[in-house]
Amino acid sequence: MEFTVEQIALMLNGEVKGDKSLKVSQLAKIEEGSAGSISFLANLKYEQYLYSTNSTAVIVDKTFEPKKEYSTTLILVDNAYASFTVLLQEYQKVLAQNKKGIEQPSFISTSANIGSDVYVGAFAYIGDNCKIGNNTKIYPNVTISELSTIGDNCTIYSGVKIYNNTIIGDNCVIHSNSVIGSDGFGFAPQADGTFATIPQLGNVIIENNVSIGANSTVDRATMGSTILREGVKLDNLVQIAHNVEIGKNTVIASQSGVAGSTKVGESCMIGGQVAIAGHIVIANNTILTGRSGVTKSVRKSGRIIGGVPAMDNHDLLKSQVLFKNFPKIEQRLRDVEEKLKEK
């Protein structure tokens, strides 16, 4: 991939400050840039590297004012971080376009419907009556079981297992070794102390523009559907249990888990290692800070919740200050007790 600085500026609706004709062919961090690479500066902690970088061009905010001389060419945009993300996406598309065709050995059922410009890697399995959309990339060792549907422009990386009846929309990405549609954790206790398996007869529905990180799991519903709404982003090692619904544009960080039948609202931000109990509701625009344990519904939107058990984050911070001071408080109580004894 090679573009002129001017071409990139047009793509990003930016303005060039320097030589428009220079060519770039790779992306790089600003501190590691070399000739022919393009970088970005969004966090001013890295401003020092702008004055020494070897990158041919650097994307910066229009409001940025350099404090020293620099040798690189600048591309001025409204939001450097967002613009560089667009550039990364375009770069990824160019790379993906090189992947087409069906590698052998692989298995595709004769009843499967495969779209145009699809890539199917070696040792992939596509079962009966599956439907694969146009421009979708299925990497080696992927299993897609019967009656599953995957939309257009999706990328399914190596080792992903998609169980039967799963429905996946357009522009979705599922990273390596994730499992979509395995049984929910449903077991009924018996009189003799054993547990009987409750059949999990539902499915998983993943809407458009969803991203699922590596080694994550989304369980099928007992009945009905487990649903990830449009724009949901899951980090690596996230567990979504049966009959859960995750609202539009909600993001969940690594090692978090949502227990069965819980409904998480839209545009929520869930930190790492958060545990959410089953059969509760989380309102829209809720922020759950890392390592929170949420045992009750959050009904009011826009709250920041943290701690175990989870509480309003402002109250949590006050509680943490008090907890740190407990030894001093205890000593003060002992001193008071001693004085009372003396009387």
- Told to judge if 242 belongs to the known catalytic residues of this protein, a careful annotator would answer yes
- Catalytic option among 175, 242, 279, 314: 242
What is the three-state SS of the chain? CCEEHHHHHHHCCCEEECCCCCEECEECCHHHCCCCEEEEECCHHHHHHHCCCCCCEEEEECCCCCCCCCCCEEEEECCHHHHHHHHHHHHHHHHHCCCCEECCCCEECCCCEECCCCEECCCCEECCCCEECCCCEECCCCEECCCCEECCCCEECCCCEECCCCEECCCCEECCCCEEEECCCCEEECCCCCEEECCCCCEEEECCCCEECCCCEEECCCCCEEEECCCCEECCCCEECCCCEECCCCEECCCCEECCCCEECCCCEECCCCEECCCCEECCCCEECCCCEECCCECCCCCEEECCCCEEHHHHHHHHHHHHCHHHHHHHHHHHHHHHHHC
Please identify every residue annotated as catalytic: 242
